[in-house]
């Protein structure tokens, strides 16, 4: 089915021929039972007008592929600057369904089980490769975790198709994992593949969203280094400016404590209180309850006059606690999508817990948008 949707998505360029045979074979398997048209008649319906929020651009300036695509956080910015997606891969079936309803395309599945020869040539490779093997919120297994080797499937595609630009995103902790050896290995392998590599840790809050979300961005090009200093940043917003009004909220119904004279942290977070739960034991001195680090993250309460902490990819029961108009509550799912910069027209499906998981695993759209614009300006 992924071949079939890619065939229609790429009918105006040579990439269509790349998917023609598998799409035709798929059509023939359904033809008799569903009375579908054959491939020559199918072409009469091209080009298709996609009735989705984010259709492919009618004309394009470059092509890209979307690996570990999630719900499309890379694709929205790339299409905005006239990029044409020619291949998509996403393992999670729920994310695949969200992707399909927003972009009119079903992603291919598990990249480790695909014949990578199906990946067409492209100008930019994007990949928000899985976070958990390198994240401090995971089990710290790194490359010993089988998921840690998924980056090597990316390297295989790079070696085969030699895109002009490689655009990778991961958690900040990748910088420090295994004393820096993990990052050095990734950079070294990209250089061996013929790329000049630059990287930097960026914060989504510098690109207009009310979230302290630090991520490492790695960019490789065949002949030039990407200049991160040319990225245009914005003043940090505050959380209360984007909050929903008049909807059902999840309030805290248990005792909590507000601290006196809360301070704005360098990150833009304002730790304002905590649930009256057991605090950390190791290395904690008496009289330090006003410090956020002595409280476990699920027990911390943050002021809406600052930023929200990074939305986690693993928590499914809601977000962190915020102090809003004299009450403590969690963000709504709509607010979560706002602080990740997703457009209002983005369609959300699946259960609430799955929606939280999907948005926590996504990239921040405004940050990717600014980087994409500079990639196009500097490297294409």
Enumerate the active-site residues.
131
Q: Of 122, 113, 75, 70, which is closest to residue 93 (Cα–Cα)?
A: 70
DSSP of 182-202: HHHHHHHHHHHTT-EEEEEEE
Question: Pairing state of beta strands 124-127 and 256-258?
Answer: unpaired
Q: Using CA atoms, how far apart are residues 339 and 310, in angstroms rounded to an integer?
A: 9
d(CA 167, CA 146): 22
Q: Which residues pair with 322 in a beta bridge?
A: 302, 329
What is the strand order of the sheet 327-330 is part of?
A: 256-258, 271-275, 300-303, 321-324, 327-330
Strand spans (E) along 144-223: 165-171, 196-203, 211-212, 214-221
Strand (E) or helix (H) holding 98: helix 93-103
Strands 271-275 and 300-303: antiparallel
CA distance 327 to 324: 5
User: CB-based burial of residue 250 (10 Å sphere; 0-12 exposed, 13-18 middle, 19+ buried)?
Assistant: middle
Tell me if residue 99 falls in helix, strand or coil.
helix
């Amino acid at each position: 089915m992924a071949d079939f949707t890619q065939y229609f998505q790429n009918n105006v360029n040579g990439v269509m021929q790349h998917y023609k045979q598998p799409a035709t074979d798929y059509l023939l398997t359904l033809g008799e039972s569903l009375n579908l048209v054959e491939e020559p008649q199918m072409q009469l319906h091209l080009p298709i007008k996609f009735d989705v929020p984010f259709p492919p651009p009618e004309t394009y300036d470059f092509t890209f592929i979307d690996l570990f695509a999630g719900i499309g956080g890379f694709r929205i910015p790339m299409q905005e600057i006239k990029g044409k997606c020619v291949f998509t891969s996403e393992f999670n079936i729920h994310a695949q369904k969200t992707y399909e309803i927003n972009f009119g395309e079903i992603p291919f599945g598990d990249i480790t089980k695909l014949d990578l020869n199906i990946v067409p040539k492209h100008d930019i490779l994007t990949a928000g490769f899985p976070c958990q093997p390198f994240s401090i919120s995971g089990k710290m297994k790194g490359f010993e975790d089988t998921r840690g080797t998924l980056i090597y499937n990316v390297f295989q595609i790079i070696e085969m198709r030699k895109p002009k630009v490689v655009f990778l995103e991961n958690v900040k902790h990748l910088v420090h994992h295994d004393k820096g050896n993990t990052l050095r290995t990734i950079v070294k392998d990209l250089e061996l593949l013929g790329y000049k590599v630059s990287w930097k840790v960026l914060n989504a809050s510098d690109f207009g969203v009310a979230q302290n979300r630090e991520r490492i961005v790695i960019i490789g090009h065949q002949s030039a280094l990407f200049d991160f200093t040319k990225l245009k940043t914005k003043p940090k917003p505050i959380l209360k400016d984007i909050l929903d009004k008049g909807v059902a909220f999840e309030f805290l119904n248990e005792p909590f404590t507000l601290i006196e004279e809360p301070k704005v942290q360098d990150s833009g977070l304002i730790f304002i209180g905590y649930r009256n739960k057991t605090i950390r034991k190791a290395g904690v001195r008496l009289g330090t309850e006003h410090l956020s680090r002595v409280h476990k993250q699920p027990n911390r309460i943050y002021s809406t006059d600052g930023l929200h902490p990074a939305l986690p990819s693993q928590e499914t029961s809601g977000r962190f606690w915020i102090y809003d108009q004299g009450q403590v509550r969690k963000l709504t799912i709509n607010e979560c999508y706002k602080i990740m910069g997703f457009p209002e027209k983005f369609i959300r499906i699946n259960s609430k817990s799955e929606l939280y998981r999907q948005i926590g695993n996504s990239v921040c759209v405004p940050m990717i948008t600014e980087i994409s614009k500079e990639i196009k300006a500097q490297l294409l």
